[in-house]
Amino acid sequence: MESVIKVTQLSKVFSEITAVSDLSFTVQKGDVYGFLGQNGAGKSTTIRMLLTLITPTSGSIEIFGYDLYKHRKEILRNTGAVIERPDLYKYLTAYETLQLFAKMSGVKLSKANFMDQLELVGLAQRANSKVRTFSQGMKQRLGIAVALVHDPQLIMLDEPTNGLDPQGIADMRNLILMLREKMNKTILVSSHLLSEVEQIANRMLIIDKGKKLVEGTVAELFHPDDTVVYIETNDQVRCEQLLKQSNYADKLMGVDIGGIELKLRKEDVPVLTKLLVENNISVLGITARHSLEDYFLKITTANQHVEPFKN
């Protein structure tokens, strides 16, 4: 596998705050790499270092196999990024915006090329509308068109769904997937929402307080065997007894006054429900969550000690 980004023992210390600490990870060619962490975890600081907007305190960054600081210009020429809200001129149209940024990057494109770029991000119909009339989602998508104007191989998106409504989030998700599938781009996308990353990324990294917690393929991390089912019944005591005497005994994880927790595949839930009903236990509610979701929830609930995630 060809690595596009290779970060090794990267740290960034701002006077009193260690924003990124000894962070190592690799993004492979063709990845949609989800970079996940709660607010303040160090995502933007890392992305800023990857774009040479700030200098690392220590560690190394290789992009396309070259040292970022020795080959800055060539690397950035092949990298596009949207960090935070894209800086756009509200009195320019979408078309004029692309024209301006193409000129600034020294790229010559025909009218048809510009229209293709706008088509790609779903803005061709609004090519001649001024940016000030755009929704946040449209501005974000125009920001991506700007980032793509010089046809980079690598794209970094810092929280691209922040502040978007559900439709805007879905459009952004589809756009990211299309960039990977149809245009073979490698994409690093940061988010504080596990569910968002799960839907678009093939690999992901979770950081907290600047440190790596978990990294792996989404398929590995979301292994179906690691689903936690929480079941509420009208008779917890009998339910617990029944489960302890059944095939589910080794699946039991915990019991509290509200319900019983089991480690179970989602597809096994109907069989479990049937067993309870046959034994005259009424099921009042069932929720199924992946244990990575539980883990992420614990991280994002401030100041809790969290054991490393084991999948």
Ligand X SMILES: Nc1ncnc2c1ncn2[C@@H]1O[C@H](COP(=O)(O)OP(=O)(O)OP(=O)(O)O)[C@@H](O)[C@H]1O
Least gap, CB of 197 to ligand X (angstroms): 13
Find the binding residues for ligand X in span 225-264 (CB under 6 A): none
Find the binding residues for ligand X in span 131-160 (CB under 6 A): 159
Lookup: tokens for 251: 């699946």
Least gap, CB of 43 to ligand X (angstroms): 3
How many whole angstroms separate alpha carbon 244 and alpha carbon 259? Answer: 14
Lookup: tokens for 302: 């401030």
Q: State the binding string over 174-193 for ligand X (x if CB under 6 A, else -).
A: ------------------x-
Instruction: Pick from 21, 23, 32, 42 the residue near ligand X by CB under 6 A.
Output: 42
Residue type for position 304 = Q
Instruction: Pick from 4, 7, 27, 41 the residue near ligand X by CB under 6 A.
Output: 41
Element (H, E) at 214: strand 211-217
Tell how strand 154-158 and strand 79-82 pair up: parallel
Residue type for position 166 = P
Q: Is 55 in the site for ligand X (CB under 6 A)?
A: no
Q: Is 45 in the site for ligand X (CB under 6 A)?
A: yes
Least gap, CB of 162 to ligand X (angstroms): 8
Nearer to ligand X, 140 or 291 (CB): 140
Instruction: Pick from 23, 27, 33, 43 the residue near ligand X by CB under 6 A.
Output: 43
Backbone angles phi, psi at 229, to 5 degrees: -105, 130
Hey, what's the torsion of the CAs at 287, 289, 294, 297, to 10 degrees? Answer: -80
How many whole angstroms separate alpha carbon 219 and alpha carbon 234? Answer: 36
- The residues that touch ligand X, with contacts defined as CB under 6 A, are 14, 17, 19, 37, 39-45, 159, 192
